[in-house]
Structures are given as C-alpha cells and as structure tokens.
Amino acid sequence: MFRKPYIVLIALLVLAAGFILLMAQKPGEAKSEAAAQTALPTAVGEVIQAAQSVTPVMAAEVEMSAAQVREALVERAKQHLFKPGWVLVRETFTDFTKAEDYVVVPMNGQIIPKNWVRETWLLVDEGLQVKAMFSEKKMLDDTIVSLTRASDGSFGKAFNAEILPNVQIDYWTKTETLDRLIEQGETQRVVFQFLSLDGKRVLYAVYSDVFPSPIRMEGLKQPLISFSTEDHYDWEIGQFLFSEGWATLTDGNRQLVGRLEMSIDCNSTPPDAVLEGFSITPEE
C-alpha cells in the first residue's frame, strides 16, 4: 500500500541529486584534483600544478569554499603585494549604463560620480603595516570628489589614525564580495576557476544575485532579473586585477554594467603636494 509513494520519493530524490551534481559540474572540471582540495595551502598548490596542464584559456574549476579562497588570497597578498615604502594603488571604475555622469547630494553638495578614478598613496613600514594614507577620488575630467588623509604620526602629523586599521593589506585584496558571501553563510554557490591571462595564473570568481522580481534601472534597455560579478585575481600574488558587473535582462540578454580595474605600483614616490599635505592639518 505504501510502496508506490516511496518509489516516487526515491525517484524524486535521485532526480534532484542528479540535477544538483549536474549543476555543480562545469566543462573542464578536474574531479580528481577537486577532491584533493581539503586543506590549505597544500591543496591550493596541487590545484595550481593541475591548472598548468589544462588549456591556456580555461583551467580546472576549483572546489574551494569562499572562506578558503579568501584566506589564500590574503595570505598571498601579505607575502607579495606590498613592499616597504610608498605604494600607489590606482582604481578605475567605468560605468557602461550611459545614464547621468554624476549626482549632487542636495544636503551637502557632495558629488557622486558614476565613472571615477581613485588614487591612494600608502606608506608601508618594514613590518608591512600601513602608517599613512592619502586617497583622492576624481571624476574623469579630474574634478576631485573626495579626499582622505590619515597618519599615525610616523610621517607628518597624526591625523585620522583611527581609520588606518581599516586600510591594511587585506583591505586592498578587494575581497569584499567574498566577505559578504561568508557573512551570509556561503548559501550562494560561487564558481571559482583558474584562467591564464597575459601569462598570469588568474583566479576567476563569479557571484550571481537573482532578484525575486525584475528591477528597473536607467541606462538598461530592460529590467534586470539577475546580476553577476566576475572578479579576477592574480593567484600567485593575491592581487585583485579587475571585476566586471553583468546584468541579465528579462529577454535573457546580458549587458555589461561596469568594470573596476586596479593596479599597484611600489616604485613611485608621491608628488610634493601630497607629501606636504601631511605636515599640515586641515584646519591650518
């Protein structure tokens, strides 16, 4: 009497399990290598070795959790990203939605641009701690929209020192999407893969937000039903390279919304105007 429902239940569970496995597997996935990803850093090393033997464009999918990937990136960044002295971090955001260039906040006149360049000078000590920072965000026509300066007193006057713990090396690994994912309990499936780009072994991470109902947005031809971010990191040194944001529209087409690029230069010195700024406080 109860056999038939149980057969239906088992069939459904088998179907669901098969579907899950199918969704989890992508072309080019190296299952035996993926199974070896149990601990860091050994497992990560194995994946890197495995990636070299695959096609130059797309390598093995990486079966790592967001927390493991974040830990590996931060660890590598701490070893390779900064050198003692001045470090220039340059971020450029390009918005492709062709809506208005900027908005002005009526309460305080603050300008918020859609396209921007942010140059940040960091003074790094021998222990690779950031001791001073100068950050300037500009519109593409060089209009300065925000400026932040901080020092713990090691260079120039002590000013805004309380923000320095927030701009140490891990901040510049740009893993905030991973951080949000970890905060949310890693309920969302993320695809991590290795690519070969310009001779670099690049970690490619895709995160997708699926909206319960379509969202309208100026500059997009149609409402969007989901939004994906594709982050690219230099896996050897843990450096964030660039990220693209893609909207999936109601007709199924994808549209590039924005691109953030970042470069790090450890061989330059700040202009005099930046250096002189540390010797005065804004009130002077």
Partner 1 sequence: MITNRHQKRLILWLAFILLVTQFGESSAGGGSKTVSGSISGITYFAEKSVYTYTNTWTASVKSSTVTNISIIGYTWWTVYQICTNDVYSYYIRSENKNNRNSSYYEDSKYVYYKDYPCPGGSYIKKTASLGNHQFTLNSTHQYPYVEYVYP
Q: Mask: binding to partner 1, 156-175, rule CB under 8 A, as x and -?
A: ----x--xx-xx---x----
**Residues in binding contact with partner 1, number by CB under 8 A:** 60
As measured in angstroms, the least distance from the Cβ of 108 to partner 1 is: 8
Using CB under 8 A, which of the segments 39-47, 75-83, 101-109, 265-273 binds partner 1?
A: 101-109
Rg of the chain, C-alpha, whole Å:
23
Tell me which of 73, 74, 132, 150 binds partner 1, using CB under 8 A. 150
Tell me if 233 sits within 8 A of 241, measured CB to CB: yes
Tell me which of 35, 112, 144, 280 binds partner 1, using CB under 8 A. 112
Tell me if 115 sits within 8 A of 94, measured CB to CB: yes
4 belongs to the binding site for partner 1 (CB under 8 A) = yes
CA dist., res. 167 & res. 122, Å (int): 9
86 belongs to the binding site for partner 1 (CB under 8 A) = no
Phi, psi torsion values for 204, nearest 5 degrees: -115, 120
Tell me if 123 sits within 8 A of 130, measured CB to CB: yes
Tell me if 194 sits within 8 A of 203, measured CB to CB: yes
CA dist., res. 257 & res. 59, Å (int): 26
3-state SS track over 129-195:
CEEEEEEEEECCCCCEEEEEEEECCCCCCCECHHHHHHHCHHHHCCCHHHHHHHHCCCCCCCEEEEE
Q: Mask: binding to partner 1, 50-79, rule CB under 8 A, as x and -?
A: ------------------------------
- Contact residues toward partner 1 (CB under 8 A) are 1-2, 4-5, 8-9, 12-13, 16, 19-20, 23, 93, 95, 103, 105-106, 108, 110, 112, 114, 118, 120, 133, 135, 137, 146, 148, 150, 160, 163-164, 166-167, 171, 176-177, 180-181, 184, 187-188, 207-212, 215-217, 224, 227-229, 243, 245, 257-258, 260
